[in-house]
Amino acid sequence: MNIGRRDACALLPALCAAMSAFASEKDALKSAAYPFESLPLAKEGQAAYRDILEGRTRTGDYLEAHETVLEAGAMPHPAHHHAGEELFLISSGTIEVTIAGKKTILGPGSAFFVASNEEHALHNVGTTLAQYFAVTLGQKAS
C-alpha cells in the first residue's frame, strides 16, 4: 500500500492525537487510596494543609485535592479568582464563604462550588477549628 504525501499529511493530526492520548494516559493519575494519617502536613500562618493528589486524569483533565484546617478567625488567603473551578466540602467548624460578593455561612456537611474566574474567599467565623476538603478541576489554582 502506497501512501502519498497528501494522505500522510491528512493522517498526521490523528496520529498526533493518538500519541498524545497514549502519553497522557501513561502519565495520568493512578487509582490509589490515600490514608489521612499518611498525608504530609504543612503549616502556613493560621492554616494547616494536607495535599492529597494533583495531576491529570486519563481523560486529560486537571485534578487536585487537599485538606485545610483553619484556626478560629482565620482565612487561608485574601479573596481571589482563578481559571480552575473548585468544590469545597466542610467537615467541621463554621465557614463564611463569599462568592462574587455574596456571603453564606456554612457548617459541617455543607458544600460549595466556585465556577471559573469567580472571586471567592473563605473565613472561619466560628470559635473552633474549621476543616474542609477542596477539589480543583480544570486548571491549577494559582
| Predicted model pTM | 0.80
At 5-22, the pLDDT tens digits run 666 556 656 655 554 554
At 73-115, the pLDDT tens digits run 999 999 999 999 999 999 999 999 999 999 999 999 999 999 9
CATH of domain 36-138: 2.60.120.10
Q: Where are the domains positioned within the chain?
A: 36-138
Q: Which residues on neighbouring strands pair with residue 121, listed in sequence order?
A: 98
Q: Which of 25, 51, 24 is nearest to 38 (CA)?
A: 51
3-class state of residue 94 by DSSP = coil
Which amino acid, one-letter code, is at 38? S
Q: What is the mean pLDDT of residues 116-141?
A: 94
